[in-house]
Amino acid sequence: MPFFVLVRKLEARGGANNRIAYRGLDRFPWACVDDIYYEGGMACELVPVWKRAQEHHAGNLSFGSVDSISEALVLASACNDWSEHYEILEGECLGRLSDAQLGAEASEDWFGYDCYLDGTGSLISLGICEMPQLFSSHVLHLTEAGLFGNVSSLMAYCASYFQLKDESIEPVSCGEEIFVYRLRLANVETVESGSRGHGKPGSGL
């Protein structure tokens, strides 16, 4: 089942001569929505939607998600000019890294595969994006979105990450609960065009 998350728009990562444009999960998910809620500035009608999102955990993502683009847009509307700084990801959880289907390939309309350790982050964001020179043999397997195009390449990268002993990289062991996600940019234009003149999408307003 697909899920949807609001994340910051991409930033180039890595050294000046080897920048990686990462478009995965580890981009401050729901940051502006979370800030508005805890500052007490969220509209009353959005609070139940936000609470449901926080309780909806796709895979091991404790930061929460929603199961429709409409709900993601409703929450995004809490942030001023959200589309300038944020985008909505559509994702599918493939389960634990240890159980992932090796032959899975991402078609052209998907960014690729990310892997996430709850409470720590994406191993792609933490490793190859920060220090690409330490993972030079894996850089060629990244898609334009800074993710891996197939699960086999992702697993090979993770194996290298687990074995690497470098103080500049967050240590993670192969026994951790790491989940695999296939990601792409959500098609919000269809929902937005269909909701014009009908109130906020998915909110019942």
Q: What is the pLDDT of residues 147-201, one digit of tens each?
A: 999 999 999 999 999 998 888 888 898 888 999 999 999 998 866 655 554 445 5
Q: Is residue 176 part of a domain?
A: yes
Nearest to 122, CA basis, from 2, 1, 5:
5
Q: Is residue 18 part of a domain?
A: yes
Q: Is residue 203 part of a domain?
A: no
Task: Quickly state the pLDDT bin for 23 (edges 50, 70, 90).
Answer: very high
- Structure tokens of 199? 């109130």
pLDDT at 143: 94
Number of domains into which the chain is organized:
1
Q: What is the DSSP string of 115-164?
A: EEETTTEEHIIIIITT-GGGGHHHHTTB-TTSSBSBHHHHHHHHHHHHH-
pLDDT at 11: 63
pLDDT at 168: 84
Most confidently modeled range among 12-16, 17-21, 54-58, 98-102? 54-58
pLDDT at 189: 84
Q: Is residue 27 part of a domain?
A: yes
Q: Is residue 204 part of a domain?
A: no
Q: Is residue 202 part of a domain?
A: no
Q: Which residue has the higher pLDDT, 132 or 10?
A: 132
pLDDT at 185: 96
pLDDT at 98: 87
Q: Which residue has the higher pLDDT, 174 or 31?
A: 31
Model confidence, pTM: 0.87
Q: Is residue 200 part of a domain?
A: no
pLDDT at 12: 54
Q: Is residue 201 part of a domain?
A: no
Q: What is the pLDDT of residues 34-69, one digit of tens each?
A: 999 999 999 999 999 999 999 999 999 999 999 999
Write out the residue range of the structural domain in which residue 139 sits. 3-195
Q: Helix 69-76 to helix 188-195 angle, to the nearest 10 degrees?
A: 80
